[in-house]
Amino acid sequence: MAEFENRFWSSRDGLKLHYRDYPGREDRPPLLCLPGLTRNARDFAALAARHAGEWRVICPDLRGRGDSDWAKDAASYNPLQYVEDVELLLGALGLEWIVAVGTSLGGLMTAILSLKHPGLVAGAVLGDIGPVIEEAGLARIRGYVGQGRAFATWMHAARALEESQAVSYPGYSLDDWLAMAKRVMTVGSNGRIVFDYDMKIAEPFEQAKDAPPLDLWPAFESLGGRPLLCVRGALSDILSAETLVAMMARLPGLETLTVPGVGHAPTLDEPEACEAVGRLLGRIG
């Protein structure tokens, strides 16, 4: 796998936040990889291995995930706070131009960053996310996020993932589930295997179900007119085919890819996704 440095930056409320920094060419905007709700920087290790060197790749752990500090106030586990944290990272690194790779929550963050900072995003990959988020998928995620389960072995952990997420990855083998377990879990202080995030991230996510829906179209439309790729899982219960069609009509420059046999969310390591990401980067630099 590609070599990287573990580095840190500070949030406004004093958290020590972690990111992986894979070196690459300085004459290109770096790839900023933003993960989904319960995920972390390890999700992008294979993508970084493909592109580091030619591109600098920066993979943050959001607050409460991976090697980043857990928040003192669970209410700060929300997209606007995550975006503020990333803004501070970009400021600390002096970056004024990025290629965003955002899966699920990370894609929503990408759109918000674009809306707040015109000209920041030189291009973007959106992983199974759009301006209309299907309630069925949100309900499914609420059913498992924040459950503080622990497992005696990696095999037990892999089987538990298969039970909760086979609907999204019906073709996965046991080796695939083991690999996913090692991305999303870690060995806890008591030697048992636990999910690598603060269970309290579920609290604002659960509360948000009672809030009126937000109009996310302006944020996503702010990405229009630049190299843009949306990768949808054919079985997705978060991003519908109808929303993807509407995005194509309203976002100039958007290329779409639907990955067969996968739900929410494609890993971006599928062969067709690798090719599509490569094409997108070719359009940028």
Q: What gap in Å lies between CA 200 and CA 189, rounded to an integer?
A: 18
Q: Is the pTM of this model over 0.85?
A: yes
If 0-12 CB within 10 Å is exposed, 13-18 middle and 19+ buried, where does residue 75 land? Answer: exposed
What are 73's two structure tokens?
Answer: 């106030």
Q: Which residues pair with 123 in a beta bridge?
A: 99
* Structure-token match 């179209």, residue found: 217
Q: What gap in Å lies between CA 140 and CA 156, rounded to an integer?
A: 21
Q: What confidence score (pLDDT) does residue 212 get?
A: 84
Q: What gap in Å lies between CA 34 and CA 50, rounded to an integer?
A: 17
Q: What domains lie within the chain, and their CATH numbers?
A: 5-135+214-284 (3.40.50.1820)
Q: What gap in Å lies between CA 199 and CA 202, rounded to an integer?
A: 6
pLDDT 10s digits, 87-142: 999 999 999 999 999 999 999 999 999 999 999 999 999 999 999 999 999 999 99
